[in-house]
Every structure is written in C-alpha cells, then in structure tokens.
Structure 1
Amino acid sequence: MRKNYYQKLAFMVILLTILLAFQKYTSRDKESFPEAKFITTSSTTHNLADFDPNVLTPERWQKLGFSEKQASIILKYKEIVGGTFTSKEQLKKCYAISDEKFEEIKPFILLPEFSAKDNSKRFNSFEKKEIIVTGKFNPDLKTVHDWIKMGFSEKQAEAILKYKSYLGGSFISKEKFRECFIISPENYNKLVPYLLLPAKTPESFKMSATQYSEKIKVKYYNFDPNRLDAEGWKALGFSEKQAQTIVNYRDKNLRGSFKNIDDIQKCFVISSEKFQEMKSFIKLNPETIKKEDIQQEKTDFSKTDLNTITFKQLIEFGLDEKSAGSMIGFRKKLRGFVIKQQILDTYDIDKELVQKLISIAPLDASNVPKYSLVEAPEDWLKDHPYFKYSADKIIFYRTTYPDDKKILKFLKLKPEYEERMKLYLK
C-alpha cells in the first residue's frame, strides 16, 4: 500500500512539472508585429491631372470622385456665384465638397488661391446678403430692380422674370412660384407668408407654352397665299409643322399655286374656324397663279394603291420628303404592306397627313410575298423587320419541328409580335 502511494505521488509531481513547463513555454514573450499603416489616399488621386473647374461637365465631376447629386450641386453653386469660379477659396466654400476632398484635389485646380479684391468683395457681399421683405406683395408686379432690392442678384432677378414670362406673365399661385428653380427652399419659406397669390394652381391653368401661344391673337393683314413661305404662314398663327404642310400642299399637290379660295379651304391643316378668320384678308393675285398647271393631270389618290404609290405622289399629296422617304423605305423592307395600320407604325412620319391618305387610298396586298416558317428563305427571315430578331431560332427549331404552330410556341413571343408575324405567314 505504501508502494502504491509513492507511485501515485510521483506521478502527480511529474504531471504538475509538465503542466508548469507548458505554461511557461506558452506565456513567454514573442516578437511583436510591426504596426500596420494603411494608405488612405483616394484612388482618384492617382488619375488626377490639372483641371479648370469652370469647364467641367457633370460626368467629369463624377470622374473626380463626386456623386451625381454632388456634381449637380457644384454646377448650381457655380451659377449662383456668377457662372465662373474665380479662386480655390471660392470653390472650397461649396458645401458639396468636403474639406478632405478639397485638399485632395486642390493641387490640381487651375485657379488662383484668392480672387482679385473686387471679385472677392462682390462674392462676400453676396454671401452676407439676406432676403428682406417689408410687407405683403404681389410678385407679378415686381421689376428687376425690386427683386435686387429684396436681396437677389441681378442674374437671379432676371431669371425670376423670365420664369414669370414662361408661365404666361403671372406666377399663378404659390405652388408655381415655388417651382422657380432660382428661389431656394429657404428663401421661399421666408417669402411665402407675404405672397399675395392663391395657394393652389387653378385646374384651368395649362402650363404648355404652346397652348399659351395659341391664346395670342393673330394680327391679320392682306396677303397673297401664293407668295407666302413657311415663315409667312407661321406669322398667321400656324405651327412650324402646319406651315410646312401648307407650303408642300401648294407647291406639290397644287403644282405651285392656289388657284382659288376653295383650294386653300381644302388644305386639311387649315380648320374651318381658321379659314373664316383669315378669309377676308386673302387676296389672290392672278399673276401668281400658274395657269399652265391647271391643265396638268392630278393623281387620283382614291385609285392609287398604297403598295405602289410613288415618292413623288406622296410629295404631291402633301408629305414632306422625310415622311415620304420613311414610308417608302419601310414598305420596301416589309416587301409590301398587308394592312393600313402598318403604315401608321412607320417611324418618323406625319401621322395626321398619312391618316388622311390611308382613309382615301386603297391597299392591295395580293402581291405581298408570304411563307410558312418551315419554308421561308433564310435571307428573307433575317432581313424582314418582323422576323429578323427571331430568325436564328426559327431556323434552329424548324430542323426538328417542321410545324409552324410548334415553332411559334417555342419562340414564346409577345402576343403583339406574334400577330405581326402572322400577317406574312401562309
């Protein structure tokens, strides 16, 4: 028993010695790692080159590391300070540029540290200026001088009046006044309690500048319609597009001149109301009427097939060269129109005039080539506007599934695209 006791004691001593040795080994001082230093310089610094901030576009500000919104703010700030940055110190004051970012780009800015005395004084005075309102007022009655006196710069005052003119000569409501981009939210909040304007915009008000211009009464004068060019017709209250259509109608359709009052009335862009307004001022001079043209044969569009109508005939009807060319070009790609609606889908045409044409002229689609998807020539599939984007798939599927219905099912087209294809399928 005594022997076993000593054996156990010896074992415990050895175990304790091992544990102490292990602890000492693991807790000894080890060589420390060097302190890590991280490079904080922006990656954009390496790509920077000298630049003039006055010529930078929003995209180039973004390339310098600014967000789209920050770039927009910087450009607005440039307009506020007069349209040109005059010094680095001035640019630094833009709140969209942090101090850290400014120090990063500062060495590359092609501007003096400080602007000339007169410029800095002008800028400082602008910064310190506050909007001063002494009482309630109607902004419609304010002049440039009044807005400057209130605290706005001359350019801002002119912009405010230009905006009023755009609205039709009145700010209409507080809502519309607030939309003036030159008036900041802070300044609007100062002004709004004093504005003698209704809070909401009337529903009857229409913002469109075009609609506003239509309200302007035309001052008529005696005129010969055969002597007027497009500008002359515009002066009578017609839009640029309408004026050009009238000139084309006269020069192409009527062979160079209106022969009588009825010819003018028949022009579809001249409404009956408009014709009555200017009727008494129309003075047809016999000398300007091309009598030799009266005997010339005119195209009977009620008998002219839309699949054979020529470029010259379209010009004769009143279309301009761009619209006529687009229609002929689209018809050529399709190898012919199948339904009249396709003509209205033509890109870049005068749809009003073409609508009138297709309501008169017939369409014969009997000679338009049609195929099944299985038999259609590859060059036809790859060139036809309705098939070319699916041509490769059609050619692949028909080698295994010689059935149009299955091929259409595999194509998984939108219903409207499938309907267009079916116009040219047997």
Structure 2
Amino acid sequence: MSFKIQFSAAKNYFLGFATSGVILFSSLLYFNNKEKTSTSPTFTSEENTISEKIPLKKFNPNALTEEDWKELGFTERQIATLFKYKEVVGGNFTSKAQLKKCYAISAKKFDELEAYILLPETGSSPNKSYYSGGYESSTNYSNNYKTRQKKELKIPGKFNPDHFSIDDFVKMGFTENQANSILKYKNYLGGSFLSKEKFKACFMITDENYRKMEPYLLLPEKTPENQATSSKFKSTNFEKPPAIYQNFDPNITDFEGWRKLGFSEKQAQVILNYRNRNLKGSFKNIEEIANCFVISPEKMEELKPYIILNPNNFKTISSKKMETNFSSEPKVSAPETKTDFSNIDLNKITFRQMIEFGFDEKSAAMMLSFRKKLGGFANTQQIIETYEIDKDLAQQLITISKLDQSNIVKYKLSDAPEEWLKNHPYFKYSADKIIYFRLTEKSDKKMWKFLKLKPEYESRMKLYLVQD
C-alpha cells in the first residue's frame, strides 16, 4: 500500500514537471516568432537610411512629398535636387530609367528602391498597369498622382503665347513653376517666342503638350531670318547705358565710345577684340561691322547713319609686305624679308608667315581657321591637334615661337553669348543644354553636374571660361 502511494506521488510530480516544461518551451517559441515577424525590412546604408518605423511599400515617386522622401532616407539637399530634376523633365518622372539619371540618387540607393517604384522601366508615359493591382495600401499616393497626371491642357482656342501671363499658363494646365520657367525662357529670347520652332524648344513643354497646342498657336512656323539673332545679349547681366548717337569712326572709337553707343562693357570689349584681332586693327566696310556677332541687325540699322569710315584711319600694310603680296616675280628668300619666328606670337602669326616657315597652303589655312573658331589658342597642344596639319612642322613651330593667351575672350557658362556657345568648337554640342539649364540655374558649378561631360571635354571647355 505504501509502495502504491509513493509511485502515485512520483507520477504526479513527473507529470507536473513535464507540463511546466512544455508551457515554458511554448512561451519561448511564441515570443521568438513574434520578434521575427515584427521585424520589417529596412535600409541601412551610409548614404541614406530608411526609418525603421516606416516599412517599405510600393510607391509612386511623382506623388511623394518632402516628408515622404525624408522617410525614404534622403537629405533635404537631395530632396531639393529631386524636385528640381522633376521640373526639368516636365513635371513628372515617366520611367525608372529617367529617375535613375537623377544624380541625387546613387546607384546603390536606386537598386534598393527599384523593386518598390511604381513606374515603367522605360518609356515616355506611365503604364496604367503599374497603378492597379497590389497598390491598395498606397491609395493616397495613387490619388495624388492621378490628380496631377490627369490634368489635361485646357486650350482657349487660337492664342499667342507672347501675351500669356503666369496665371494664363496655370489656367491652361501648367504648374506655377513650369509657367514661371516658360516666361523666363521667353524673356531670354528677348521678350517674344518668335516662332513655333522656338516655342517648341522650351524644355518645359513636352512633345505631347506641344502637339496639342500647335494647331492653336498664333506664331510663324519658322524664326524669321531678320529676327534670328535679335535676342542676343538682351538678358545680359551687364547694364547697358542709354545710347547717345553722333557721328563716329569705328576705327578710332575706344571702349568708352562704344559704351556711349549703348553697348554693355562685355559687348564693347568683344567689338574691340574683333576689330583688333580678327580684322587686323580696322573695319574696312559696313559689312565687317555688321558681321560682329554682338551687334544685332536692329542695332546695326540704328548705327548706320552715324558711321564714318575714314580711309586715313585704316591701319596700312608696310611697303615690304605690299611688295611681297603683289610682286609678280617668283618668291626668293632674301635676308631682309625673313621672319624672326622666336618673336612671333602663335595667336597672331599670319598666313604668309606660315608659308614662309614651310607649311603648305592647306595646313596654314586649316590652322588659322581653327584659331579663329576658338577665339585664339589657349595652349600649344591645340596647334598640334589641328586637322590635316603637318604635325612635325607644327612641333618645330611651337618650340621656336611664343604663345600669348592674354587676348582670349573668356566667359562664364551663366553669361556666355548664345551665338558664341553655338559656334565654338568646344561648346557647340552642349550649347542647347547650357542655354536651357541657365534659365533657372546661375551657378557654374551646378551646371557642370547637370552636363555630365567626360573629363577631357570639360577640361577643354574650361580653357575658355573664367575660373572662379
């Protein structure tokens, strides 16, 4: 009897112990699973850190506010760049590929976010399928996007955009920032869009919106030739004094004289450089004055009645040069006509002197033509790189002669003349981008980031730019 009682007590003790163990093990397992399921995926990069409080979910970058971008780990400066880039591309990101180009988003950061971005991979318009299934948890983003994206242009019939204010463009369907940029572009052109061609070139107007507006635009199809250059320097940062017209000889007019005729400081300097360097010191006729690119056709018409070209003020060619240029006798090497090339400036060397040194006519013409397009050589390597030049002979020339770069006209990206940008060999392929970017951005440093040029191209361009 005693044995049975002891066995029963032991049995109860064992069962109680086992039950307690099961309960304890179940509790540990439960809390361990709960901790795992409560952990949400987060990004922890050094550059951007997504808040652990906000789990990642699919999002449309067009609908994000500043706070939304902050929750994704972006700094205020990066967010400002993102919003500015969005305006530059037309007010909305249209694809992942386009968003990826924004330099505020590193490649690593984009890889982390890509799976959650509700945009097509490529293309100019969002794919509707990206805004349907699997997006119920982001209805606020979706509604905001539809409100902005679906805003159609309301065209009030035939209209001249020259007469439109910011409010008029906003009523048509543009954002206030877009409307402001469109008017800045008009002011840059000189106060008029001039033609449908120029209006279309405004980067705030997408191809789709232009197609809708084009039938209603009261503008010429093409820019009239007599107005193509009328906007030059109208947006210059240098103040132009009121023009005081009186008879003048352009060959003896100094810096202050050109200023009194209504030109800015920079324009006056360009005219003097053009006369002294390109034309060897004097204008010979009206056409040569008109060819100076800082003098618009309208300004030239105003100046014409007052221009006096006195031949006595022309810089004359020496008698020795006259004999050399016009003699019908075969060329002979006479000691008195030989040039001391150690005293020759490569930015002033003449066609005759290059022939004398040993270049053929084609090489000499190519070098002088390249020098003219550049506005002067900034270093001797440019001479070696001249197309179809005798490189061995060019190497000898730069070893003997000197190079004076002091007369080279330099600008900043923010104020370089449009015509100069489009004609200069180093700038013409980026001219349109520079012209558009500087409508809203005046910092040269930021503009270099926008251009994203190869280092060798950037270094060449900087040879002709004022360095801060």
Q: Same fold (TM over 0.5)?
A: no
What TM-score, normalized by structure 2, do the two folds share?
0.35
Of the two structures, which has the highest relative contact order with CA contacts closer than 8 Å and spacing of 6 or more?
A: 2
The TM-score normalised by the length of structure 1 is 0.37
